[in-house]
Amino acid sequence: MTETSRGMDRRVILAGAAVMAGAAALPRLAMAQGGPIKLATLTPLTGAGGPYGPVMVKAVKAVVDEVNAAGGVLGRKIELISEDDQTNPEAGVRAARKLIDVDKVSAIMGTWASSVTTAVAPLCWESKTFLATVSGADAITLLPHQGYLIRTQPNTTLQGRKFGEFALEQGGKKAVFLTPQTPFADSQFTNIKAAMEKGGGSAERLIYDDKKPSYRTEVDQALAGKPDTLIFGGYTPDTTVLLKDIFRAGYTGKKIAFAYSVNAKLLEGVPAEVAEGIFTIAPSPAAGSGGYKRLVKLIGVESPDPYTTQIYDQINLILLAIAAGGDASGTAIKDAMRKVSQSSGGTKVDNAIDGLKLIAEKKTINYDGASGPCDFTDIGDIQDCQFRYEQVKGGKFALIKIA
């Protein structure tokens, strides 16, 4: 637990006393008017997401420092406050309450675990604090967030569509989706099937128990219809067993899996011929884009992970929305977000510095960043992003494309 977390409860109590003494009668914006614009990161600095949180914060701080050095936004400096959600919903809620009630931030960025985002989101929309997340669970944007939430991580609906489209691209016409019953299985299959059917193909699904030592019965069932493509929706342990049984069955068609399941660990655990030729798909940063190159230079990290590229885009978008809306409140950010992220005919920008100059000149902008195009649906989902496609060749992953 961080020092911030240990002292949080006492500060919340003291802050509450101050509010009771009379500050509560003042609107949040009026209290902050003329002072710094307060924004926050709520990332996993510890816990399961600990490897990602620190560099995510580093990216946001680099952008804030750059913008402050150029004069800030609306003539005000940006104050960044960072908290650790510990990859834990309860800790995330405590930290979010502190950020909202005590620090009075206008926006929170970077919630990583879907369970944390789900717990924190109601606090944000109830207080009109804008929330930008990298969590992927479909249910998050189905919450009644009233527009106070955007998600830069592709949800499982988008991922399913990409799988179906890629299967068609590889010549597939008849696919079987092999998956355990996960929270994402239904949406993945629905969108794989829709993409396949749109391209003149078809898709079926076979649900299996991911704890079984053998799937020969399930493999025989899947192969009975003579599919030309198998798509895997499980995790590394069960996918390992499935691939071995499929190899023994003599299947020679296309195989496609999530990169988080068919990974280096899986390749180490199976004979080379078992995994040979399998395709993998994963969300990808927009490597080579102007925003990506700028981020690499800012933080000195050669290959930033997808979450870091996404939070880099989140801070840039929020700063631009504040400038475009002429106000630093969460409501103003919400109302201006799509004006800066997807304005038809707007000048393309990949960073806040250039965008702020154009906004000051009364010009419209269209932000594309380090994670790709930042165009959002009405409920806050990213409409599209780049994906990384690889294939196992000779026991190693070979890049097919990034698109």
0.95 cut: is pTM over it?
no
Instruction: For residue 141, give the DSSP letter.
Output: G
Q: What is the pLDDT of residue 273?
A: 97
Dump the DSSP string for 20-41. HTTGGGS-HHHHHTTSPEEEEE
DSSP-assigned letters across all residues of 54-74: HHHHHHHHHHHHHHHHTT-BT
Tokens 């906004």 found at: 359
Q: Whole-angstrom Cα distance, residue 55 to residue 211?
A: 35
- Quote the pLDDT of residue 22: 37
Q: What share of the chain is helix, strand, coil (3-state, %, to 5)?
A: 45, 20, 35
On the 0-12 / 13-18 / 19+ scale of CB atoms within 10 A, 371 is buried
Residue 186: predicted pLDDT: 87
* Structural domains in the chain, sorted by start: 3-151+288-373 (3.40.50.2300), 157-283+386-402 (3.40.50.2300)
What local confidence, expressed as pLDDT, does residue 378 receive? 96
Q: Could you say which residues of the chain have pLDDT below 50?
A: 1-32
**What pLDDT, on the 0 to 100 scale, is given for residue 30?**
36
β-bridge partners, 36: none
Q: Which helix (H) or strand (E) holds 255?
A: strand 254-258
What is residue 126's predicted lDDT score, i.e. its pLDDT?
98
Give the pLDDT confidence score for residue 183 in this predicted structure: 64
Question: b/e per residue, 17-51, with b = 16+ CB within 10 A?
Answer: eeeeeeeeeeebeeebeeeebbbbbbbbbbbebee
Crossing angle, helix 330-341 and helix 306-325, to 10 degrees? 110
Structure confidence at residue 259 (pLDDT): 81
* Secondary structure letter of residue 142 according to DSSP: G
